[in-house]
Amino acid sequence: MIRVSSLKTIAYSRVIHLSHIIDPDIPQWPGDPPIEFTTVAQLPDDGYYLRGFSIGEHSATHINAPNSFYQAGIGIDQYPAQSLIVSAVVIDIQAAAAVNADYRLTIDDIFTWEAEHGEIPIGNVVLLHTGWQNKWSDKHAFLNQDAEGIMHFPGFGSDATQFLLDERQITGVGIDTHGVDPGQDASFATNRLVLAQQGIVLENLTNLHQLPAKGSNLAIAILRLRGGSGSPVGVLALVP
């Protein structure tokens, strides 16, 4: 049992990594800087082992900050600590995404989920399990670019996102693809809607199949990069 604050105690039976391991060969958004590791010291010569590394703020499993889309938005270093401990629900759209790589979560999908699990509680992050995590080891399949370079992977429809924010008062969204917006959506509508409210946007998650539909809590460990537009994150799910 871990005490998050004087007002909230979380009981859990399992802890699950929701972040991918980082290495130079992971799928990356076109134009992102390469991931590089540089050996600085080695045990035989220096008595200790040390590397430097370089990575883009939106590579690997990561969180987006408002200033990535809004000039006056805050950077990732300004997110309060308490905002990074959140409850989560998981909506599974694997079947639809397997048929249509461009599938977008709809309001009807939300109602279908709620008919089985109850109304999404206020203050939750909604995680979308598309099955794309299974493509992570094949960067071409994961980004799924066509001949024109347009990516094809599922995500949140903007209408569904607006509904979740307005009617369910969620605190954020997350997904196992490279974007909460579908690959074809160059407007980044869901990112903009959530980040306008200084919400949580998590991308490139994994192991969502190990989470129950509701009841998990997430601990999101950011890198407090001053003015950062986002940050690679270690996300742990505390499962009841």
Q: Average pLDDT of the chain? A: 95
Residue 53 token pair: 């590394």
127-140 confidence digits (pLDDT tens): 999 999 999 999 99
Q: Is residue 156 within 8 Å of 105, Cβ to Cβ?
A: yes
Look at the block and give the residue holding tokens 């995404």: 97
Biggest alpha carbon distance in the chain?
63
pTM score, whole prediction: 0.95
Is residue 5 over pLDDT 80? no
Look at the block and give the residue holding tokens 């998590």: 202
Query: How far apart, in whole angstroms, are the C-alpha atoms of residue 71 and residue 48?
Result: 43
- Average pLDDT for 45-51: 97
180-192 confidence digits (pLDDT tens): 999 999 999 999 9
